[in-house]
Amino acid sequence: MPAIAATYSDHSNDYYDRREKIDYDDGEMAVYYEKGDTAMYLFDHCYCNRAAWTAYEDGTLKEMPQDSMGTFMKYLDIAKENPNIKKFVINIALNAGGESGISTAMAKIICGKTYRHQYDSYTGQDEVIHYDVDLNFDGVFDEKDDEVSYPFEFAVMVGAQTYSAANYLASMAKDNGIPVLGEQTGGASCSQRRRMASTIIHFMPTLMRSAG
C-alpha cells in the first residue's frame, strides 16, 4: 500500500474507532487514529516547543507540552489504556524533518536504544554517537528512564517525502528490526556538517541513508 494513500485516505471519521487531530502553534499538525487492534500517530513535522518544555521542567506548565513529543507520549498512554490496542504505527510518510531530538526520543521508546551512525564521505570518518534520553521527564538521566515502556508491536510508515530527522527515525527502526512500511524515504541527513574545501566552496555532506 503506498504510504501517502495510507496517510490521507478517503475514510470518514466514522470509519475509525477513534480519531483526533491536533494543530500545533507552528502551523503543523498531528492526527491520532484507532482502528481494531491498531493505533496510528501521524505527524508531519518534528516540532519541539522549547519554551513549553522549559516551563514543564520547572513546574510552571503542569501538562506535557503540545508538540510532536508531548502528544506522542499522550497517545501512547491512551493506547496503553485500551486493551484492544496491540500495534502502534508511527506515520512519518509526509514528515520532512525538524528537531532531531524528537526522533531520538521516539527511537529510544520503540527500539530500546538510540544512537546516530554517521559517515562523512569527505573525510572517510565513520562514527557512532550514543544518547541518553530522559524518558520519564524528571530531569535526571538514570535507570528509571529504562522503566518507561509500552507493550506494542511498533511499526514506522514512511514515504518519498520522509526526510531529515524523520528519516533518522526510519533508519533506527530498520536497523533494529522494527517494520518499516510504505515507500523508500527521501533520505537526507538529520544533521549536517558544513565543510570548506581549499577552493573556498561550501558544501554539506549527507550523514544518513534512506530507509524503507
Residue whose C-alpha is closest to residue 22's, from 64, 84, 81, 82: 64
> Residue 123: what pLDDT?
78
Read off the pLDDT of residues 152-209 as tens digits, 9 standing for 90 and up.
999 999 999 998 899 999 989 999 999 999 998 887 654 445 544 444 444 444 444 4
**Is the dihedral angle over the CA atoms 133, 135, 136, 139 positive or is it negative?**
positive
Question: CB of 169 within 8 A of CB of 103?
Answer: yes
Q: What integer pLDDT is reported at residue 205 of this predicted model? A: 41
pLDDT of residue 127: 82
What integer pLDDT is reported at residue 210 of this predicted model?
Answer: 46
- Nearest CA-CA partner of 212 in 193, 197, 172: 172
Q: Block means of pLDDT (10 residues each) for the chain, length 212 residues? A: 46 82 86 95 93 91 93 96 97 92 93 80 79 88 91 95 91 93 78 49 43 54
Q: Is the pTM of this model over 0.75?
A: yes
- What residue ranges define each of the domains in the chain, with the CATH number in brackets? 3-203 (3.90.226)
Give residue 211's pLDDT.
Answer: 56
How many whole angstroms separate alpha carbon 65 and alpha carbon 155? 24
Q: What pLDDT is stored for residue 11 in this prediction?
A: 55
pLDDT given for residue 4 in this prediction? 42
For residues 101 and 112, give the distance between their C-alpha atoms in angstroms, rounded to a whole number: 15
